[in-house]
C-alpha cells in the first residue's frame, strides 16, 4: 500500500509568492513529495535561491518571475506550468501584501495595491488554472486567506477586506466547479514567524498582544500552514470543498 500523499508525486503544483516565508515552505513541502513545483514572485534573486533548494528534492521544479498584480503575468504563470508539465493539478494562491495604516490614512493607491494582489490576482489565477482543471475533471485550488477574514484588527482595513473577499470567493468557486471535480478551499493563518514578520514582531507591545490572543503557546510557523495546505491538496480531503481551515492557535475561538 502506498503511503499518505504519494498521489502528489509528479503532480503539477503552482505556488504564488513561493520564494519566501509561507510560500517557500509550501513549495518545499510539495517538492519533498516529488511534485513538479512552479514558484512565482517579483524578486528574481529570492526565486533563484529558493529554486536551488527545491532542486535538492526535484530538479524539474521551475521559477517564473512576475508581478501578479498584472493579470497578463498571472495567465503567463499558469500557461507556463501547463506547457511545461502537461497539466495544472494544484494551485496555491499565496501571494499577498499588507499596507498597515489607520483607515483614515488609506489612499486609493494603497487600497488597489492590496486588493489587486490579495484578491484580484487570486481570482484570475484560479480562473486560468480552472481552464485546465475543468478539462481534466480534477484539480485543487487552495487560497491562503487569514484570520483577518473573520476578525477585525487595527490598521488592516484593506487587508481584512481582501481576505474576507478571498474566503467568499473560495465558496463561490467551489460551488461553480464542484461537479467538474475541482475542489476549492482556503487556509486562514494567524501571525506567522517568518523573516517577513520579524521586524513587526520586534515591537514588544505588539508581540505581547499577539501572544495574549493566541491560545496555544508561541507563534505559528510556516510548516503549520503547509500541513493544512498539504491536507487540502491530497486525497485525505476528497470530500472537502468550499471550506476555510483556520490555523490560528485559537485566536478566533473566543
Is 80 a member of any domain? yes
pLDDT in tens, 61-119: 999 999 999 999 999 999 999 999 999 999 999 999 999 999 999 999 999 999 999 99
- Amino acid 68: pLDDT: 97
Q: Any idea what the CATH number is for the domain that residue 195 is in?
A: 3.40.50.720
| In the predicted structure, residue 170 carries a pLDDT above the cut 70 | yes
In a domain, 251, yes or no: no
In a domain, 146, yes or no: yes
171 alpha-carbon distance from chain centroid: 16
In a domain, 219, yes or no: yes
**Is 113 among the domain residues?**
yes
Q: Is residue 174 part of a domain?
A: yes
Total domains, the chain: 1
Lowest pLDDT segment from 19-28, 194-203, 207-216: 194-203
Q: What residues contact residue 237 under an 8 Å CB cut-off, 6+ apart? A: 183, 185, 231
Catalytic residue among 4, 132, 154, 159: 159
Q: Is residue 129 part of a domain?
A: yes
- Give the domain range for residue 156: 9-245
Handedness of CA 134, 140, 146, 149 (dihedral sign): positive
Q: What are phi and psi of 32, to 5 degrees?
A: -60, -25
pLDDT tens digits, residue range 137-155?
Answer: 999 999 999 999 999 999 9
218 grid coordinates: 508561541
pLDDT over 90 at 166, yes or no: yes
With a cut of 80, say whether residue 2 has pLDDT above it.
Answer: no
Q: Which residues contact 104 (CB under 8 A, 6 or more apart)?
A: none
Local structure of residue 248 (DSSP, 8 states): S
Element (H, E) at 141: strand 139-144
Question: What are the tens digits of pLDDT across the range 234-243?
Answer: 999 999 999 9
pLDDT of 8: 98
Percent of the chain with pLDDT over 90: 91
In angstroms, the CA 22 to CA 94 distance is 8
Report pLDDT for 199. 82
d(CA 139, CA 130): 8
132 catalytic? Reply is no
The mean per-residue pLDDT over the stretch 210-217 comes to 93
Instruction: For residue 183, tell me if it sits in a domain.
Output: yes
Record the cell numbers describing residue 40, joined without a space: 512565482
Residue 20 — φ and ψ, nearest 5°?
-140, 165
pLDDT reading at 3 higher than 50: yes
pLDDT at res. 1: 47
Amino acid at each position: 500500500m502506498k503511503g499518505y500523499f504519494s498521489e502528489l508525486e509528479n503532480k503539477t503544483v503552482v505556488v504564488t509568492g513561493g520564494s519566501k516565508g509561507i510560500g517557500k515552505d509550501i513549495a518545499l513541502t510539495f517538492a519533498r513529495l516529488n511534485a513538479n513545483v512552479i514558484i512565482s514572485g517579483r524578486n528574481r534573486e529570492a526565486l533563484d535561491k529558493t529554486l536551488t533548494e527545491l532542486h535538492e528534492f526535484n530538479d524539474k521544479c521551475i521559477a517564473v518571475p512576475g508581478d501578479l498584480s498584472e493579470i497578463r503575468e498571472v495567465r503567463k504563470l499558469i500557461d507556463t506550468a501547463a506547457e511545461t508539465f502537461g497539466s495544472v493539478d494544484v494551485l496555491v494562491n499565496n501571494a499577498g501584501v499588507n499596507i498597515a495604516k489607520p483607515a483614515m490614512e488609506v489612499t486609493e493607491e494603497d487600497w488597489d495595491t492590496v486588493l489587486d494582489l490579495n484578491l484580484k490576482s487570486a481570482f484570475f489565477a484560479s480562473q486560468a488554472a480552472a481552464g485546465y482543471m475543468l478539462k481534466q475533471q480534477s484539480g485543487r485550488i487552495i487560497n491562503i486567506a487569514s484570520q483577518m477574514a473573520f476578525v477585525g484588527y487595527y490598521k488592516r482595513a484593506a487587508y481584512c477586506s481582501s481576505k474576507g473577499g478571498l474566503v467568499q470567493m473560495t465558496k463561490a468557486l467551489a460551488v461553480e466547479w464542484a461537479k467538474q471535480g475541482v475542489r476549492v478551499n482556503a487556509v486562514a493563518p494567524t501571525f506567522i514567524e517568518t523573516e517577513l514578520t520579524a521586524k513587526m514582531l520586534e515591537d514588544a507591545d505588539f508581540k505581547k498582544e499577539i501572544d495574549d490572543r493566541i491560545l496555544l503557546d508561541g507563534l505559528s510557523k510556516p510548516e503549520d500552514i503547509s500541513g493544512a495546505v498539504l491536507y487540502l491538496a491530497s486525497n485525505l480531503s476528497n470530500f472537502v470543498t468550499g471550506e476555510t481551515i483556520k490555523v490560528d492557535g485559537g485566536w478566533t475561538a473566543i
